[in-house]
């Protein structure tokens, strides 16, 4: 899942970005509303986090512009104080939720999870394919009766494949949703990660769940 964070305070931005990355999200950061708008027009985000107080274009203005541009990504506004007017203004501008600074990381993570879920309009905490089960809240994966230990990138990749299953996901969609804008798309990292996922999920099990569609992408499914 890929997130855009628009926040001018560097300390807050790096703290939030690090926490989100630890939870397997790919994060792009912008320090101004103008940069945020440019990134949001260029990339598909699963959620957008906007600070209200930005130099130049405010978070509220940016939110309004994003909705005018028909960007549907769920938006969480970060407000400096618990000002009722600010919250109302944000929601009126098209934000889905708000969080008052200072906030606890656990709270932020819970809100982002809820936001991403809302974006996919799929509320289920558990995603399944055959005898494989991915728990989005516990961030755990089980195949049969055995726990499958995954790194955060492997988890994010599997989550995306399961959310789209039985449809396929293209290589470029994987890059867009699992990695951030620093990703070098010429590398074969996607293939490497798919192979690792296969080794962890399919090796010693049947039926195979991860399928390659030549020239198209990848798909999860219990049937061949
Ligand atoms: Ca600010």
pLDDT in tens, 179-221: 876 777 677 889 999 999 999 999 988 899 999 999 889 999 9
Distance (Å) from CA 111 to ligand 1 centroid: 19
pLDDT for 138 equals 81
Distance (Å) from CA 49 to ligand 1 centroid: 12
- Which one is predicted more confidently, 91 or 75? 75
Distance of CA 103 to the CA centre of its chain: 20
Sign of CA dihedral 177, 178, 180, 181: negative
Helix (H), strand (E) at residue 141: strand 140-143
Distance (Å) from CA 216 to ligand 1 centroid: 42
Distance (Å) from CA 46 to ligand 1 centroid: 22
Cut 0.85: pTM above it: no
pLDDT for 81 equals 66
Q: In 23-178, which residue ranges form alpha helices assigned H by DSSP?
A: 33-42, 59-68, 84-92, 105-120, 152-164, 171-178
Distance (Å) from CA 51 to ligand 1 centroid: 6
> Which of 50-54, 70-74, 168-172 tops mean pLDDT?
50-54
Least confident span in 87-91, 151-155, 174-178: 87-91
Q: Determine the average pLDDT of the residues in 124-135.
A: 88
What's the pLDDT tens digit per position in 31-51?
Answer: 999 999 999 999 989 899 999
Distance (Å) from CA 118 to ligand 1 centroid: 26
Q: Which residues, 6+ apart, have CB-to-CB distance to 222 below 8 Å?
A: 129, 130, 207, 209
- Rounded-to-integer distance, Cα 151 and Cα 22, Å: 10
């Amino acid at each position: 899942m890929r997130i855009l964070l628009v926040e001018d305070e560097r300390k807050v931005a790096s703290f939030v970005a690090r926490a989100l990355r630890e939870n397997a999200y790919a994060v792009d950061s912008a320090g101004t509303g103008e940069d945020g708008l440019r990134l949001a027009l260029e990339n598909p985000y699963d959620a957008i986090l906007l600070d209200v107080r930005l130099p130049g274009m405010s978070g509220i203005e940016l939110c309004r512009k994003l909705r005018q541009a028909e960007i549907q990504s769920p938006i969480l506004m970060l407000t400096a104080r618990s000002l009722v007017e600010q919250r109302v203004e944000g929601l009126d501008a098209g934000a889905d939720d708000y969080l008052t600074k200072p906030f606890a990381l656990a709270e932020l993570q819970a809100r982002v999870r809820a936001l991403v879920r809302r974006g996919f309009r799929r509320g289920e905490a558990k995603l399944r394919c055959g005898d494989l089960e991915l728990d989005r809240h516990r961030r755990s994966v089980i195949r049969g009766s055995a726990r499958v230990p995954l790194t955060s990138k492997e988890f994010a990749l599997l989550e995306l494949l399961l959310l789209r299953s039985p449809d396929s996901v293209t290589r470029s969609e994987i890059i867009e949703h699992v990695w951030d804008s620093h990703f070098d798309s010429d590398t074969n990292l996607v293939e490497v990660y798919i192979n690792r996922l296969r080794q962890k999920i399919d090796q010693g099990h049947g039926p195979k769940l991860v399928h390659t569609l030549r020239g198209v992408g990848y798909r999860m499914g219990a049937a061949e």
